[in-house]
Amino acid sequence: MGIIEMEKALTYDLICIGGGSGGLACARKAATLGKKVALIEQSRIGGTCINQGCVPKKLLYTASMVWEDMEFGKEMGITFEKKELHWKELKEKRDAYLKKLHAIYTNNCKKDGVEYIEGKAKFVTAHELEVVDLEGKNPRKFTAPHIVISTGSKSIMPGRLPGIGFTFGSDGFFTLEELPKNLFIIGGGYIGVEISCLLNCFGVKTTICMLEPSIVWPFDREITKMQMEIMTKAGIEIIAESRVMGVEKLGDKHYKVNFDKHASVESEMVMCAMGRMPNFDGLDIEKIGLKLTPMRAIETDEFDNTNVPGVYAVGDVNAKLMLTPVAVAEGRKLALRLFGGQKDAKLAYDCIPSVVFSHPPMGKCGITEEEAVTKYGADKIKVYRSRFNNLSYALVENKIPTLMKIVCLLPEEKVLGIHGVGKGIDEIIQGFSVAVRLGVTKKDLDETVAIHPTASEEFVTMTQNLIFLTLLPYQIV
Would you give the DSSP letter of residue 465?
T
Q: Which residues pair with 292 in a beta bridge?
A: 298
Cα–Cα distance for residue pair 304/308, rounded to 1 Å = 11
> DSSP string of 32-87?
HTT--EEEEESS-TTHHHHHHSHHHHHHHHHHHHHHHHHHHHHTTT---S-----H
H/E segment holding residue 438? none
From 86, 254, 419, 452, the catalytic residue: 452
Neighbour tally for 94: CB within 10 Å? 17
Cα–Cα distance for residue pair 229/123, rounded to 1 Å = 50
Reply yes or no on whether 452 is catalytic. yes
Cα–Cα distance for residue pair 251/238, rounded to 1 Å = 25
Helix, strand, coil distribution of the chain in percent, nearest 5:
35, 25, 40
Cα–Cα distance for residue pair 428/404, rounded to 1 Å = 11
Cβ–Cβ under 8 Å, residues 119 and 131? yes
Cα–Cα distance for residue pair 85/178, rounded to 1 Å = 11
Cα–Cα distance for residue pair 163/256, rounded to 1 Å = 10
Virtual torsion, Cα 336, 338, 339, 342, nearest 10 deg? 50
Which residue in 121, 206, 155, 200 sits closest to 52, CA to CA?
155
CA–chain centroid gap for 410, Å, is 32
Tallying the residues shown for the chain, one arrives at 477
Q: Which residues pair with 276 in a beta bridge?
A: 155
Helical pair 190-201 and 54-74, crossing angle rounded to 10 deg: 40
Q: Which residues are catalytic?
A: 452
